[in-house]
């Protein structure tokens, strides 16, 4: 009886895993919209840098533009490495625009955050 219960539990787990995998493939891997990504970026930066409302509004515009460009680029190619290389100059340009809205103190903190994010991206690319 115990083996039967264990077997049924195992089968249920396999079915649940298969269902989740199919759902993930069906909606683009649960990717967020560019708007959600930009909002998340602004919220993360606000938490770290204590942004004013006008800074949030301005940064959102550039974060949204970057998210849209990234999404288009990754959808248009299967070569993720090439996509990452193409997006790098766009990220640098966006960073410069974002920094133009920051105070010198916030800019230093932003540089640190960006360096940490770049290290995490490089780890995921490996």
Domain assignments of the chain as residue spans, ordered by start: 1-30, 32-125
pLDDT, position 118: 83
Of the candidates 49, 41, 59, 42, the one whose C-alpha atom is nearest the C-alpha of residue 110 is 49
Whether the full predicted model's pTM is greater than 0.85, yes or no, is no
| 69, 90 Cβ separation under 8 angstroms | yes
Query: What one-character-per-residue DSSP string does 15-84 give?
Result: HHHHHHHHHHHHTTTTPPPHHHHHHHHHHHHHHHH---HHHHHHHHHHHHHHHHHHHHHHHH-S-HHHHH
- Mapped onto helix, strand or coil, the DSSP state of residue 100 is coil
> Alpha-carbon distance 96 to 40, whole Å?
19
Distances in Å between the Cα of 37 and the Cα atoms of 10, 11, 48, 70, 81 are 37, 36, 17, 11, 21
Residue with tokens 């269902």: 19
pLDDT, position 82: 84
Where is 126: in which H helix or E strand? none
Mean pLDDT by 10 residues, the chain (126 residues): 58 56 48 92 94 96 95 86 87 93 94 88 76
């Amino acid at each position: 009886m115990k083996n039967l219960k264990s077997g049924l539990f195992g089968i249920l787990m396999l079915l649940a895993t298969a269902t989740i995998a199919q759902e993930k493939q069906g909606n683009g891997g649960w990717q967020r919209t560019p708007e959600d990504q930009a909002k998340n970026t602004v919220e993360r930066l606000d938490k770290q840098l204590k942004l004013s409302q006008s800074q949030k509004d301005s940064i959102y515009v550039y974060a949204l533009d970057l998210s849209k460009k990234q999404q288009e680029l990754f959808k248009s190619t299967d070569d993720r490495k090439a996509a990452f290389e193409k997006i790098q100059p766009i990220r640098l340009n966006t960073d410069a625009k974002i920094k133009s809205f920051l105070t010198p103190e916030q800019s230093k903190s932003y540089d640190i955050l960006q360096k940490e994010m770049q290290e995490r991206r490089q780890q995921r690319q490996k």
